Structure 1
Amino acid sequence: MVSITFDATWWVVTIFVVDLIIRITAIIVVPRNRRPTAAMAWLLAIYFIPFIGVLLFLLIGNPRLPRKLRRKQAAINEYLHDTSDSLDFGTLRPNAPHWFTALVGMNRNLGAMPLAGDNDARIIHDYQESLDAMAEAIGRAERYVHVEFYILQSDAATEGFFRALEQAAARGVVVRVLLDHWANRGKPFYKQTLARLDAMGARWHLLLPVQPLKGKYQRPDLRNHRKLLVIDGDLAYMGSQNVTDSTYNLPKNIRRGLHWVDLMVRVQGPVVASINAVFLSDWYSETDEILTEEIDLASVTSGPGDLDCQIVPSGPGFDFQNNLKLFLGLLLAAEEKIIIVSPYFVPDEALLLAITTACQKGVHVELFVSEEGDQAMVYHAQRSYYEALLRAGVKIWMYRRPYILHSKSLTIDDDVAVIGSSNMDMRSFGLNLEISMLVRGDEFVRDLHAVEDMYRDLSRELTVEEWRKQPLRSTVLDNLARLTSALQ
């Protein structure tokens, strides 16, 4: 009996000591260089469920890329900055407001390419039309095609796109393809897609592969979320749409009748070189191959328009949250109206404060989200902010089910906009590699406002009165999801 009592006491003491060590160590390690909300979320997880919390922290607690990839990103950033610093990127529009010039300078300091003038950017809001337009453009390629998409699937909807790639490769055009590993693995048509790329002779690589047996590993929920296509350095497409069917070919989406709604932009002009630079930096990160001959910044040519555009890459390879700082700068500069389209809207404190402050200044603010959610945790975390936004005066438009509004854009007044792959959520700010395009030009913003008007016609407004009727279970789920969204 004495022995048993001693053993039991020993185990209790051991567990207590280990638990105490975990808690003290967490206080020292977790908050370092981490946002207070994220640090607090991790500390709560570790304190309430110590062993599971520690395991999760070790698995996904590091929001940064591996050191080797960060060094590559820093090297390519330095090369692009030095190479492009004194080059002519077209004629800029006159009379830019001071805040815009300062914002462009901030972006440049954080790793963006220079602001480029003489660009044309045309919005494509029809899902299949954008796939067909990209296929047609690939069909005219003469030297190379650069494809980089978060999700890339060879299916019935994308048949024209892949056939155009095959035909381009057959006539000697170099086809390079990048696709996110985790977003595609195990998904419908994954193996068929890779086999088709092999068969056509495309040079393809997986982005951020989680393949520990091959010596490739980083935090498994880091994603390369970019969507872009570059043809011969003269024409580019970028935006929010993946190359896949509008259902993503997932049985659960098909059963629910869900279809994705997206925006792509067809771009011509000097800014195409900046989009190509993002592709080539990602290519270098995964392959160690430097393709300097295909990023001749000294030979950029003017496009058929006069838009000022700047490409802002962001992600864990950068020291700062470039996309968040861009959005904050624009929100604080708005004088009349702000229109946000973001399928996943989970703001941090600064972004929420900027939006509510804009409302208090008298700026008209609208937010477009989906009525239907395709990701439960994000859907509920997003809903947890609705009351604060509604009380501040934000008009919330909910795009009617069964469609998922997946477009990502921000318009400020009538002259400046951002469009790209970045959501306004903590994942896009801290964990995803994204690409955003800042545009100055009333004609582009006018076209984007027309798309927003179309979205408004297909949406219903969420009111404070309706929100107050939310059942208690929904409030509990929303609040729990809000807490977990900060685990970065």
Structure 2
Amino acid sequence: MFYVPLRKTPAAAVSWLLLIAFLPVPGLFIFLAIGRTKTSTWRRDRFAAIAPDLHRLAAQLRQGIPAVGYTEQVAGLAEAIGHMPAVAGNSLELIADYEDLIRRLIADIDDANRSVHLLAYIFADDQAGTMVIDALARAAERGVSCRVLVDPVGSSRWFRRINQRLRASGVNVRASMPLAPVYRWTRRDLRNHRKLYLIDGRIGYVGSQNLVDPDFIKGIVNTEIMARVTGPAVASCEAVFASDWQIETQESLAEAIKVPESTGKSVLQIMPSGPDYGDEGYRSLLLSLLYMARHHVRIVTPYLIPDDAVLAAFKALNQRGVEVELVISTVGDHPIVRLAQSSYYQELAQAGVMLQVFAGGLLHAKTVTIDDHTAVIGSANLDIRSFVLNDEVSLIIYDRVSVQAVASVLDEFVSKTVPFNMERWQQRGAVLRLAANVARLASPVL
């Protein structure tokens, strides 16, 4: 049992030790199956083979590296994690209307003349997904090279039909982290959670929205935020897709990536994270940003499972007089995660965190703003899965004009929230208290 705690947080180590102590045989098998964050050897070898191409592209982008003031250390950390530097000369458009995002994406696909690369955690063949499938079919018919990566677990309800329809239309579609036989074994709980939609190497969409109807879960309507990017940062987006594509197919796309011309004044950085990029990449970024804050932190997350380091950072911010605001939702689509999340509310309130509850469905956006100088939009939640297990992608924004634009969208979200009612929460029944505390025991391994 001495092996279990290796390179794990104390809470995670204790959870695994308790499981193995009470259920020795099944507990040990579960740990061997999903208890370690390392990917398979074949995946690590393929990712290592891509590294030289990533370094060459990063060197090209670094020739125009901007000054980012006292956030330079954060930019350096993000580059160390994800290999791509911060770059100036971009244009950024924020899209928080679900249907508008689908319309804009389809219009861009219809204008494509060279390539369309889509990477989605959920891709369905419902109304929204079918519109994208039809646009891909039209592009493929025009001779546009269309490649699609879909997570087969996130899209399990639709993947077989999606695969058949896209292949029949001439689209090259692959499963990301497929549940393959032993010789290409991939853990079911290590998932590609990225949402990255790229057109002609000149337009990139980054954020939280999947290719599925907003109400694909009965009774829940999702609200999202996506960033539409043009300019040199799109080359970094293409590098992330090229890496994932080469791991799954051994087809190299990196040499064909061209750095687009400047289109604006936004200073942006793409940071992929996940087991291939080293442990806890997004967590390291988040902690660095938190400790940099001087006045105000706002975090929007649909799933909230903070570890001890994040909780300690919130407490330290409160002691320094920094206002911390967490925006969560009244509804959730994962009951156990929802219960575990609720066990942190009182501790967060005692740490001085202002909890705001979104009342308009599930606010699925994953966004952070730090004072008026840095913002993050992406696929990563504030939970252990995004810290350690999932492949994620984050768009880090450094110029004040763009950061203010993000803050304005979050202001609109906050206008639809109500303050968390701690007094009412403390009056909840004993059954709910027990269920939340039991779920919290599993939070380090969720």
Out of 169, 194, 200, the residue aligned to residue 200 of structure 1 is 169
Displacement after TM superposition at 1:67 (Å):
1.4
Please give the secondary structure, in 2, of the residue aligned with 1:57: helix
User: Partner residue of 2:228?
Assistant: 266
Please give the secondary structure, in 2, of the residue aligned with 1:443: helix
Residue 200 of structure 1 aligns with an amino acid whose one-letter code is S
Matched-pair contact (CA < 8 Å) for 2:152–2:159: no
Displacement after TM superposition at 1:192 (Å):
2.5
User: Partner residue of 1:9?
Assistant: none
Say if 2:263 is the partner of 1:294: no
Displacement after TM superposition at 1:377 (Å):
1.2
User: Partner residue of 1:455?
Assistant: 413
Please give the secondary structure, in 1, of the residue aligned with 2:45: helix
Say if 2:150 is the partner of 1:150: no
Distance 1:352 1:326 in 2: 15
Residue 301 of structure 1 aligns with an amino acid whose one-letter code is E
Out of 176, 179, 183, the residue aligned to residue 210 of structure 1 is 179
Say if 2:77 is the partner of 1:106: yes
Matched-pair contact (CA < 8 Å) for 1:63–1:431: yes
Distance 1:454 1:310 in 2: 25
Matched-pair contact (CA < 8 Å) for 2:82–2:270: no
User: Partner residue of 1:5?
Assistant: none
Displacement after TM superposition at 1:395 (Å):
1.0
Say if 2:442 is the partner of 1:484: yes
Out of 385, 389, 394, the residue aligned to residue 431 of structure 1 is 389
If the length of structure 1 is used for normalisation, what is the TM-score? 0.88
Say if 2:256 is the partner of 1:284: no
Matched-pair contact (CA < 8 Å) for 1:89–1:300: no
User: Partner residue of 2:45?
Assistant: 71
Out of 192, 196, 199, the residue aligned to residue 231 of structure 1 is 199
Please give the secondary structure, in 2, of the residue aligned with 1:172: coil
User: Partner residue of 1:443?
Assistant: 401
Between stretches 56-65 and 145-154, larger displacement belongs to 56-65
User: Partner residue of 2:31?
Assistant: 57
1:156-190 alpha-carbon deviations (Å, 9 max, x no partner) = 123332221111101100000000011222x1x43
Between stretches 136-145 and 106-115, larger displacement belongs to 106-115
**Contiguous gaps of at least 5 residues in structure 2:** none
Q: Within 5 Å, which residues of 2 pair with 1:67-466?
A: 67-85=41-59, 87-88=61-62, 90=64, 92=66, 96-98=68-70, 100-185=71-156, 187=157, 189-212=158-181, 215-248=183-216, 253-254=217-218, 257-296=219-258, 299-303=259-263, 305-400=264-359, 403-466=361-424
Displacement after TM superposition at 1:194 (Å):
1.5
Residue 69 of structure 2 aligns with an amino acid whose one-letter code is P
**Contiguous gaps of at least 5 residues in structure 1:** 1-25
Residue 121 of structure 2 aligns with an amino acid whose one-letter code is Y
Distance 1:41 1:373 in 2: 24
Displacement after TM superposition at 1:155 (Å):
1.8
* Residues 436 and 288 of structure 1, relative CA distance in 2, 3 Å threshold: same
Matched-pair contact (CA < 8 Å) for 1:227–1:242: yes
1:29-50 alpha-carbon deviations (Å, 9 max, x no partner) = 1112222221111001111222
Matched-pair contact (CA < 8 Å) for 2:225–2:365: yes
Residue 373 of structure 2 aligns with an amino acid whose one-letter code is D
If the length of structure 2 is used for normalisation, what is the TM-score? 0.96
Displacement after TM superposition at 1:264 (Å):
0.8
Matched-pair contact (CA < 8 Å) for 2:42–2:184: no
User: Partner residue of 1:48?
Assistant: 22
Distance 2:155 2:81 in 1: 30
CA RMSD of aligned residues (A): 1.6
Distance 2:47 2:9 in 1: 23
Matched-pair contact (CA < 8 Å) for 1:177–1:205: yes
Please give the secondary structure, in 2, of the residue aligned with 1:65: coil
Distance 2:195 2:378 in 1: 8
Matched-pair contact (CA < 8 Å) for 1:91–1:118: no
Between stretches 447-456 and 71-80, larger displacement belongs to 71-80
* Residues 87 and 274 of structure 1, relative CA distance in 2, 3 Å threshold: closer
Please give the secondary structure, in 2, of the residue aligned with 1:184: coil
Matched-pair contact (CA < 8 Å) for 1:62–1:219: no
Please give the secondary structure, in 2, of the residue aligned with 1:345: coil
Distance 1:68 1:105 in 2: 29
Distance 2:185 2:41 in 1: 11
Distance 1:91 1:292 in 2: 20
Distance 1:103 1:457 in 2: 30
Identity of aligned residues (%): 38
1:263-288 alpha-carbon deviations (Å, 9 max, x no partner) = 11100110000001000000011011
Please give the secondary structure, in 2, of the residue aligned with 1:258: coil
Count of aligned residue pairs for this structure pair: 446
* Residues 199 and 151 of structure 1, relative CA distance in 2, 3 Å threshold: same
Displacement after TM superposition at 1:237 (Å):
0.5
Displacement after TM superposition at 1:320 (Å):
2.5
1:100-135 alpha-carbon deviations (Å, 9 max, x no partner) = 111111222223301110111111001111011100
Displacement after TM superposition at 1:55 (Å):
2.4
Distance 2:61 2:363 in 1: 39
Please give the secondary structure, in 2, of the residue aligned with 1:183: coil
Displacement after TM superposition at 1:71 (Å):
2.3
Residue 207 of structure 2 aligns with an amino acid whose one-letter code is G
Between stretches 113-122 and 82-91, larger displacement belongs to 82-91
Between stretches 155-164 and 312-321, larger displacement belongs to 155-164
Displacement after TM superposition at 1:87 (Å):
4.3
Residue 262 of structure 2 aligns with an amino acid whose one-letter code is S
Distance 1:467 1:339 in 2: 22
* Residues 168 and 33 of structure 1, relative CA distance in 2, 3 Å threshold: same
Distance 1:346 1:118 in 2: 36
